[in-house]
Structure 1
Amino acid sequence: MMGRNSGQIDLFNSMIFERLMPKDHLLLKIDSILDFSFVYDLIKDKYSNITGRQSKDPVMMLKICLLEYLYNLSDIEVVSRIRTDVAFRWFLGLNLDDDVPDDTTISHFRAKRLGEEAFENFFTEIVKKCIEKDLVKTKRFMITARMSLLM
């Protein structure tokens, strides 16, 4: 079953994030420009409505892949950064005490849940939007999208 984060960051965490995150942080800019909610409709057929345990939020999982691209991180490295980086947690909609997906969950989502073609289509669209808004440089665009499937 497809899981969704509540999207609600409690008041305590919100105050911490606001004080610690620079107002011009790249992730704040991306969040203000991109609406990731389209993902739910596009992948709802990849999840059962009846059986199975609840998955991690697919929007959060795609955002994790975007973090890997932006910061040139592996699955293991991005998990480590999510645990300690306030900006990463804020971008993913995680409170400071929320659990972080492990590296195998990320690779399973990318390779098995979405599959290579769907992942590449989603990811390419997200990165294109970032490039159009001049938030991401185009140097690594095509190479990294393909390489991240191998991580």
Structure 2
Amino acid sequence: MLKDQNNQLSIYSILYNKIPENHTLKLINKAVDFSFVTKLLEASYNKYYGRPAKDPELMIRILVLQYLYNLSDERVIEEASLNLAYMWFLKINPDETLPNPSFQSLEYID
């Protein structure tokens, strides 16, 4: 899928256009450029060894959804696989897979 700051170019663009411009996730996306996360963490990942890392920007966007809608790790992945606005915010298409919900959240574990 080709990704652009303002538009996701895919066969799903018609569906994404149904999301209102004043939707909370569209407003957040306009206000915050999450690409800094990938640049900030780029030196932390080895491009040649080990399993490929999940996109840091995607993981931060998932955490934003989790916080905004008070969702558990499992629930945010389930909702993101069904909710068109969530998919748009995560910059994924309905046919793409999401991370396993076992990823570590930012909550502190005692």
TM-score range, shorter chain: 0.7 to 0.9
2:3 equivalent to 1:7: yes
Supply the RMSD in Å over aligned alpha carbons.
1.9
Matches for 1:28-43 after TM superposition, within 5 Å: 28-43=26-41
State how far apart, in whole Å, the 2-side matches of 1:85 and 1:58 are: 21
State how far apart, in whole Å, the 2-side matches of 1:79 and 1:35 are: 22
Q: How many residues align?
A: 106
Query: Would the aligned equivalents of 2:16 and 2:84 in 1 still touch at CA under 8 Å?
Result: yes
State how far apart, in whole Å, the 1-side matches of 2:28 and 2:108 are: 22
Shift of 1:6: 5.3
Q: Secondary structure at the match of 1:84?
A: coil
Query: Would the aligned equivalents of 2:3 and 2:9 in 1 still touch at CA under 8 Å?
Result: no
The CA deviation string for residues 70-96 of structure 1, in whole angstroms up to 9 with x for no partner, is 000110010110110000000000011
Q: Secondary structure at the match of 1:103?
A: coil
The aligned residue for residue 143 of structure 1 is none
Structure 2: gaps (5+ residues): none
State how far apart, in whole Å, the 2-side matches of 1:46 and 1:149 are: 22
**AA at the equivalent of 2:56:** P
State how far apart, in whole Å, the 2-side matches of 1:50 and 1:11 are: 30
Q: Higher relative contact order at CA 8 Å, sep ≥6: structure 1 or structure 2?
A: 1
Output the TM-score relative to the length of structure 1: 0.64
The aligned residue for residue 129 of structure 1 is none
What percentage of aligned pairs have identical amino acids? 33
Structure 1: gaps (5+ residues): 111-118, 120-147
Structure-2 change in CA distance of 1:6 and 1:75 (3 Å): farther
The aligned residue for residue 138 of structure 1 is none
Query: Would the aligned equivalents of 1:10 and 1:95 in 2 still touch at CA under 8 Å?
Result: no
Matches for 1:43-54 after TM superposition, within 5 Å: 43-54=41-52
The aligned residue for residue 96 of structure 1 is 94
Q: Secondary structure at the match of 1:55?
A: coil
Query: Would the aligned equivalents of 2:37 and 2:57 in 1 still touch at CA under 8 Å?
Result: yes
Output the TM-score relative to the length of structure 2: 0.85
Shift of 1:45: 2.5
The aligned residue for residue 78 of structure 1 is 76
